[in-house]
A and B are shown apart, each in its own frame.
Chain A
Amino acid sequence: MLRDDETLVGEIPGTASKDRVTQLFRNRSFVGDAAVALVLIGVFAFGRSFEANTLLLVNLMVYMILAQGINVSYGFTGYLPFGFVGFFGAGAYGMAVSTSKFHVGAYPGLVAGVVVSVVVALILSPLLRLRGSYFAIASLAAAEALVLLVSNPSAQGITNGAYGANLSSVFNPGASYVSTVVALGLVTAAVVWLKHSPFGLALRAIKADRSSAAMSGINVVRVRTFAWVISAAMAGLGGACYAWVISVFYPGDVFSLTTSVFAIIFALFGGIGTVVGPIVGTVVLYGIYNAIGITVPQYFQLIYGLLIVVIVLFVPRGLASLGASVFGRMSR
C-alpha cells in the first residue's frame, strides 16, 4: 500500500531502532506516561475488591476509553467530532450483531465491533476535509444517520431494529469486565505510543499547521485518516465492551449524544494532548457526577453546570496544564 516515498513513521537519519528504544526509556516523560497506564490497569484489575458497583467501574473505564478517543482526534489532530458516539454505537452493534445473528463468540465479537467502527470511520473520512464547526456538525449528522439506519425496520433482520439488542447468548459478567480492563490498557498504551512516537509528532505538526507539515514531507491526508481510524477503533472497542457488559440495550442508548458530550467534556477538563488528562478528567467529573447524582440529585444540574463554566473560564487547557504550572512554580 505505501509507496516508497510515503511512510507513516519516518526514520531519523542515522539512528537504529534499538537506539530509539533505549532513548525512549531514558525519556522521563515517557516513563511517567507508561507508569500512568500501568497504575490505571492495576487499579481497575483489582477494582472490584474495593468497589462493589462494577458497572460504575465499567462506565468509568468506557468513558476513559472514549475520552482518549476524543484526545486522539482533537488533542492530536484538531478535529472535534461531536458525533463521536457514532463509533461507540457502531462498535456496540458490531458486537451485538456478530454474536446474536452470526453466532460468533464474544471475543471475535469484540473484534467485529472494532472492525465495524473502523469501516464507518473510513466511509466518513471525507468529512476530514471540513474544518472546525463544519466538521463537528457533519460528524453529528453522520451519527444521527447511523442510529436511524440501525433502528430502521428494514434493518430489523440484522440489527433487530427498534427492538434493541439482547446479548444473552454471550452474557458473562466476569469476562466482559476483564475485557474492558484490557481494552482500557490497549487504548492507554496506544495514546502513550502516539504521544512519544514520530507518528504522534507528525499528527501534532499537522494540527499546528497543515502546509508546513506537508512541506515537511508528511502525507497529511494519509496520516490524519490513520489517526481518525485509530480514534474510531478506540470508540468501537469501548462500545463493544459496553455492549457486552450491559447486554440489553436500544439503538438510542448506544448512540446517545450525551455520551459524546460527556467524553468531550471529560477530555477537555483533564487536558488534551496528554496521556493523563483524559483519565483524570473522567475520574474527577464522572466521580462528581455520580456522587452528586446519588446524594443531592436536585442540585445536580446546577453544580455540574457551574463546574463546567468554571473550567472553561479558568482552566481552558485542562487540569493537566494546571498541574504542570503549579509544579512549574514550585520548582522555581
Chain B
Amino acid sequence: MKIKTKLHVTLVTGAVLAAACGSSSKTTTATTVASSATSAAAGAAAGPAPAAITVGTLYAGTGSFAVSSLPEYEGIKFWVHEVDASGGAYVKAYNKKIPIKLVSYNDQSSTSTAGTLYTQLITQNHVNILMSDFGSVLTAPAVTIAKENKQLLFDVSGTGTTFFQASNNDPYIVLTSLPVSSIWPQPAVAFMKSVGIKNVAIIYGANDFDQAQANTYKQGLAAEGINVSFFQSVPTATTSYTTLIQEVAAKKPDAFLELGYEANDIAFLKQLHSSGTKFPYVFTVFPGQNHSQVEAAVGASGLAYTYTYGAPPALVHNSPSVGLGLSSFTTAFESYASKTHINFEDIAGYNAGLVVQQALANAASLSQTDLRAGVLSQSGKFSTLIGPFSMNAQGAQTGFPLPVAQLLPASSGSATKVTIVWPKSKATGTAVYPAP
C-alpha cells in the first residue's frame, strides 16, 4: 500500500514536470521572434519601430488538407520573400519599410492541433499578423481564438458561412483571397439562362463549402424561372457516383452540376465519362482552380466541354494596382518554388500577403482594430492578380467574382484549355453549347 501511494505522488510530480518542460521548450523556440514582436504588439506607434513584422500561419504538412494547404503556404512564403527582397513592407504607423518574419507550424490537418497552434502563435509568439490555414475547416478554430485574444484573423480561403454572420458581432476576421462561396454561382446562373437551360440537376457534398454554393444555385435558378428537378447532397467522403448519374440521366436535365471538393470532382468526372452518359452542360468546381492536376487524373476527353469556375491562372489579370500581375507572378513563382504548374492556391496565398501589406500600409497603428480599419478602408480601392478587392462590414470578401469557364479542347487535341466564356467582358473564347 505504501508503495502505491509513493507511486502516485511520483507520477503526479512527473506529470507536472513534463507539463512544465513542455511549455518551457516551446518558449525557447519562440523567444527569437517573440522579443521583437512583443513590444510592437503592445506599443505600436508610441515606441520605436520593431525590427520585424511577425506573420504567423499554419499549414497542413500531412493529412487530407495537405494537397491544398501546401501550395497556399508556398504562396505566402513567396510573398514574404518578395517583400523582404524589396526591403520590407511599408508600415504607415512608423512611416518606414520593415522586414516581414514568418512563423509557421504544421497542424497536420487536425482541427484540435490547429486550435492549439493558433493559440501558440498569438500567446507565445505574439505575432503581429495572424493568417489562417487553407479552407473553412482549418480556419474554424482560429475564428474563436482570434476573437478571444482580440487578434485580427486574415482568413485566406476559409469561406465558412457562419464566420461572417452579422449576429456574430466579430470584428476580428477578414477574408482575403476568395469570395464567400455563397456568391460564387452568380455569374454561372446568368450564363445558364443565356443559353436557354430549363431543367437542372444538382448534387453536392454535405459540407459548408459545397452546400452554400448549391443553395445559391437553387435560389438563383428559381429566381430565373429555371426548374431544379434533382437536388441531392452526398457525404463529403463519397467517391462513387455511378448510381446517382443513372438517376439523374433518367430526369433528362439540360444541366448537371456536381459541387464537391477536388477528389469528388475527379471521381465524378471519371465515372461520368466511363458511363457514356452525355449532358448538354456539366459543371464541376475544381478544374478551373487546379487544372493540371484534375486533367492528369480525369484525362482530357473526360474534361472536354465541361464547365467550371474561371479562376486565376486561367483568369488573367496582368495589370493589378498592387503586387505582381499574373504572368510576372507565374515566372517569378515558378523559379522560386521550382514548380512548372501553378494553381489557384499558390495565387491565393500570395494574394493574402498583398492584403496584409495593404493593412500595414494603411493602419494608423499596429493594433488589431487599426489593422482591420486599414483593410476595410481599402475596400474597392485596389486590385490584385485575382481581381478587384471588395469587403463588407462583416469582413467577408465580396470582390474577386468568379466567371464561368469551359474546358475546350486545345488546338493540339490532347489537352483541354480553361476558356472564360462568361461574362462577355472577360471572355477569352466562345462557349460550345450544347456539348457535342
By a CB distance below 8 angstroms, the chain B residues around A290 are: 22, 26, 113, 116
Of B133-141, B293-301, B322-330, B387-395, which binds chain A?
A: B133-141
Q: A151-B206, A279-B15, A327-B7 are in contact. Are A248 and B26 (CB under 8 A)?
A: no
- A217 at the A/B interface (Cβ < 8 Å)? no
B381 at interface, CB cutoff 8 A: no
Render A238-261 as a binary contact track against B, CB cut-off 8 A, 1 for contact.
Answer: 000000011111101100101100
Query: Is A175 interfacial (CB 8 A cutoff)?
Result: no
Indicate whether A247 sits within 8 Å of B18 (C-beta atoms), given known contacts A163-B211, A295-B25: no
- Minimum CB–CB distance from A291 to chain B (whole Å) comes to 5
Kindly identify, within residues 99 to 115 of chain B, every residue whose CB is under 8 Å from any CB belonging to chain A. Answer: 105-106, 108, 110-113, 115
Q: Are A168 and B170 in contact (CB under 8 A)?
A: yes
Any A CB within 8 A of the CB of B120: yes
Contact assessment for A56 and B120 in the assembled complex, using a CB-CB cutoff below 8 Å: yes
Contact with A along B224-238 (1 / 0, CB 8 A): 000000000101100
Q: Is A130 an interface residue (CB 8 A)?
A: no
Contact A298 B61 (CB under 8 A): yes
B14 touches A248 (CB 8 A): no
A-chain residues with CB within 8 Å of residue B7 when the two chains form the complex: 32, 276, 320, 323-324, 327
Q: How far is the CA of A59 from the CA of B19 in the complex (A)?
A: 13
Q: Which of A220-275 contact B (CB under 8 A)?
A: 245-250, 252-253, 256, 258-259
User: How many angstroms between the C-alpha atoms of A36 and B8 in the bound complex?
Assistant: 7
Q: Summarize A's interface: helix, strand, loop or mixed.
A: helix
Q: How far is the CA of A168 from the CA of B165 in the complex (A)?
A: 10
- Please state if A35 and B170 are interface contacts (CB–CB under 8 Å): no
With contacts A29-B4, A53-B123, A287-B22 taken as known, whether A162 is within 8 angstroms of B208 at the C-beta atoms is yes
- Residue in chain B with minimal CB distance to A330: B3
Q: With A152-B233, A168-B170, A247-B144 in contact, is A28–B5 under 8 Å at CB? A: yes
List residues of chain B with CB within 8 A of the CB of A324: 3-4, 7
Instruction: Report if A7 contacts B (CB, 8 A).
Output: no
Closest Cβ of chain B to A302, distance in Å, is: 11
| Interface membership of A71, Cβ < 8 A | no
Mark contacts of A143-176 with chain B using CB atoms, 8 A cut-off: 1 yes-contact digit, 0 otherwise: 0000010011100000011111110110101000
B5 contacts across to A, CB distance below 8 A: 28-29, 31-32
Closest Cβ of chain A to B68, distance in Å, is: 15
- Number of interchain pairs (Cβ within 8 Å): 201
Nearest Cβ on chain B to A191's Cβ, whole angstroms: 13
- B184 to A: closest C-beta gap in Å: 15
> Given that A53-B116, A163-B162 are contacting pairs, would A32 and B4 also be in contact in the complex, using a CB cutoff of 8 Å?
yes
| Contact with A153, one of B3, B140, B206 (Cβ below 8 angstroms) | B206
Interface residue A50 (Cβ < 8 Å from any Cβ of B): yes
CB of A107 closer than 8 Å to a CB of B: no
Cα A164 to Cα B163 in complex, Å, equals: 10
Mark interface residues in A76-104 (1 if CB within 8 Å of B CB, else 0).
Answer: 00000000000000000000000000000
* Band of interface residues on B: 35 or more
Expressed in whole angstroms, the Cα–Cα distance for A291 and B7 within the complex equals 26
A179 to chain B minimum Cβ distance, whole angstroms, is: 15
Interface of B is mostly: helix
Contact B8 A276 (CB under 8 A): yes
B1 at the interface (CB under 8 A from A): yes
B:326-375 near A, CB below 8 Å: none
Within 8 A of A (CB), among B2-17: 2-12, 14-16
Are A51 and B160 in touch, CB under 8 angstroms?
A: no
Contact check: which of B124, B168, B169 meets A52 at CB < 8 Å? B124
Q: Is B147 an interface residue (CB 8 A)?
A: yes
CB-CB contacts below 8 Å: B193-241 with A: 205-208, 210-212, 233, 235-236
Q: How far is the CB of B94 from chain A (nearest CB, A)?
A: 27
Q: How far is the CA of A57 from the CA of B197 in the complex (A)?
A: 55
B20 located at the interface, meaning its Cβ lies under 8 Å from any Cβ of chain A in the complex: yes
Q: Chain A residues with Cβ under 8 A from B165's Cβ?
A: 166
Which residues in chain B, 242-257, are within 8 Å of chain A measured between CB atoms?
none
Interface string of A11-40 (1 = CB under 8 A from B): 000000000000000011101110110011
Q: Is the CB of A28 within 8 A of B15?
A: no
Task: Decide: A28 and B2 in contact? CB cutoff 8 A.
Answer: yes
A152 to B236 CA separation, bound complex (whole angstroms): 11
A293 within 8 A of B: yes
The answer on a CB contact under 8 Å between B206 and A246 is no
Q: In the bound complex, what is the Cα–Cα distance between A309 and B21 (angstroms)?
A: 24
> Could you list 13 A-B pairs, sorted by A, with CB under 8 Å?
A28-B4, A29-B5, A35-B12, A53-B116, A55-B145, A162-B211, A164-B208, A247-B143, A250-B137, A276-B12, A284-B15, A293-B108, A323-B7
A-B pairs with the 4 shortest C-beta distances?
Answer: A297-B106, A32-B8, A28-B1, A52-B123
